[in-house]
């Protein structure tokens, strides 16, 4: 089964489970998942909206986008893409060229003036009666306008439907996630190769970002917090310089061909003190033992319980955490959530990040995070860097 066939089957099952006869994607990751089209404007202009529609009865896909996107859409999706366009963008064109002819036909028959008109036309043309409308990237004004224009159709929020579809991965998606993880690890190795006392968080970030470009990967995030700042979760890097004995907590990732990496490591400048060594070993064991237990049939919540229990038993008895991981795919956070109350049963093809970060304000933080894919008899690591404390020479 090809990737596009697999995704169509996943979308069809998710739509049937939700009782929807049309799925409307708005989130860039969902638009890509449905149509294969990556819209750059959705990442650059935050108020831009573009949509992909999936009809589960026959797998038909329609795309709603600006007329300016027409050449890019057909380049990725094909000349037979079902387009509902809008806007006044103008192209010149060579007479007789296929794109020139398609543009003229689309301008005549499929330019609906504005985005709302185009989206409403696409929804009505589907013949749907019950629509799962991905609310992730649709502003409330446009949501209400679409619903008012289609009183005969029942709409309900659809983001969870797409998350269910994306829950299990195709082998091509797993390979993409594995490659993204490899690139992120290689970029971290480069950032650490010549790092010395006196260099800063930003020094590491610059090397990391430059290294990603060598592998045709895009930045996602790179948190390299030194000393007391290692307790700052999801923060920016600064010009804080490393000293001998400092811990460095790394939470880092990238995007490669639409697939996300999200990993974490801990380093120390020279030999760690007793607390750093003990606390790191606790989080390392929590992550390691939870991963070792993963197998089909257990729940995401059970993975969380193991991670928490082991971390507390191995050096941080007061450890508290709201989740110990998440799915990963075309977004950094997919389902399931490795958290209390998530009863999702693990099956082969699910990809999970398992993590046990510890943040202590006034001291610092330690973290380990790995990515695995659930297999028929357990799981397999997609990152290859191991889980040892990184000791840097001073």
Q: Which domains does the chain have, with CATH numbers?
A: 3-166 (3.40.350.10), 171-392 (3.90.230.10)
Quickly count: other Cβ atoms within 10 Å of residue 313's Cβ: 14
CB-based contact 181:383 (threshold 8 Å): yes
pLDDT one digit per residue (tens) for the chain, 394 residues: 999 999 999 999 999 999 999 999 999 999 999 999 987 776 766 667 889 999 999 999 999 999 999 999 999 999 999 999 999 888 998 999 998 998 899 989 999 999 999 999 999 999 999 999 999 989 899 999 999 999 999 999 999 999 999 999 999 999 999 999 999 999 999 999 999 999 999 999 999 999 999 999 999 999 999 999 999 999 999 999 999 999 999 999 999 999 999 999 999 999 999 999 999 999 999 999 999 999 999 999 999 999 999 999 999 999 999 999 999 999 999 999 999 999 999 999 999 999 999 999 999 999 999 999 999 999 999 999 989 999 999 8
Instruction: Return phi, psi of residue 12, to 5°.
Output: -65, -45
Strands 390-392 and 259-269: parallel
Place of tokens 């977004």: 331
Q: How far apart are CA 325 and CA 347, in angstroms?
A: 16
CB-based contact 231:363 (threshold 8 Å): yes
Strands 247-256 and 218-226: antiparallel
* Residue 373: strand, helix, or coil: strand
Place of tokens 């801990």: 266
Helix (H) or strand (E) holding 331: none
Query: 300-313 vs 274-293: helix axis angle to the nearest 10?
Result: 150
* Residue 117: strand, helix, or coil: helix
Closest CA to 11 of 77, 56, 58: 56
């Amino acid at each position: 089964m090809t990737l596009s066939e697999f995704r169509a089957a996943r979308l069809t099952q998710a739509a049937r489970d939700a009782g929807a006869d049309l799925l409307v994607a708005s989130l860039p990751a969902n638009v890509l998942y449905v149509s294969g089209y990556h819209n750059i404007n959705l990442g650059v202009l935050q108020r831009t909206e573009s949509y992909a529609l999936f009809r589960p009865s026959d797998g038909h896909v329609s795309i709603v986008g600006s007329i300016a996107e027409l050449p890019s859409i057909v380049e990725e999706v094909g000349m037979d893409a079902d387009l509902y366009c809008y806007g006044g963008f103008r192209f010149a064109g060579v007479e007789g060229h296929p794109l020139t002819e398609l543009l003229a036909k689309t301008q005549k028959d499929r330019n609906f003036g504005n985005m709302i008109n185009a989206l409403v036309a696409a929804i009505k043309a589907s013949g749907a009666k019950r629509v799962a409308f991905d609310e992730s990237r649709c502003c409330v004004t446009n949501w209400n306008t679409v619903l008012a224009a289609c009183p005969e159709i029942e709409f309900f929020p659809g983001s969870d439907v797409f998350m269910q579809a994306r829950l299990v991965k195709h082998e091509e998606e797993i390979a993409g996630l594995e490659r993204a993880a490899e690139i992120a690890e290689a970029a971290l190795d480069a950032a650490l190769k010549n790092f010395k006392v006196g260099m800063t968080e930003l020094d590491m970030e610059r090397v990391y970002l430059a290294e990603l470009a060598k592998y045709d990967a895009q930045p996602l995030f790179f948190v390299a917090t030194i000393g007391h700042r290692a307790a700052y979760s999801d923060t920016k890097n600064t010009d804080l310089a490393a000293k001998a004995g400092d811990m460095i907590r790394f939470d880092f990732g990238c995007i490669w061909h639409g697939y996300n990496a999200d990993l974490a490591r801990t380093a120390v400048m020279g030999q760690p003190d007793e607390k750093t060594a003990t606390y790191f070993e606790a989080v390392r064991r929590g992550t390691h033992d939870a991963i070792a237990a993963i197998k089909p049939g257990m729940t995401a919540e059970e993975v969380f319980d193991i991670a928490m229990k082991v971390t507390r038993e191995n050096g941080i008895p007061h450890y508290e955490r709201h989740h110990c991981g998440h799915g990963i795919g075309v977004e950094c956070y997919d389902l399931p959530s490795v958290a209390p109350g998530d009863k999702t049963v693990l099956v082969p093809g699910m990809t999970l990040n398992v993590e046990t970060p510890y943040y202590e304000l006034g001291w610092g933080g330690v973290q380990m995070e790995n990515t695995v894919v659930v297999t028929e008899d357990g799981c397999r690591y997609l990152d290859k860097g191991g889980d040892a404390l990184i000791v840097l020479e001073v």
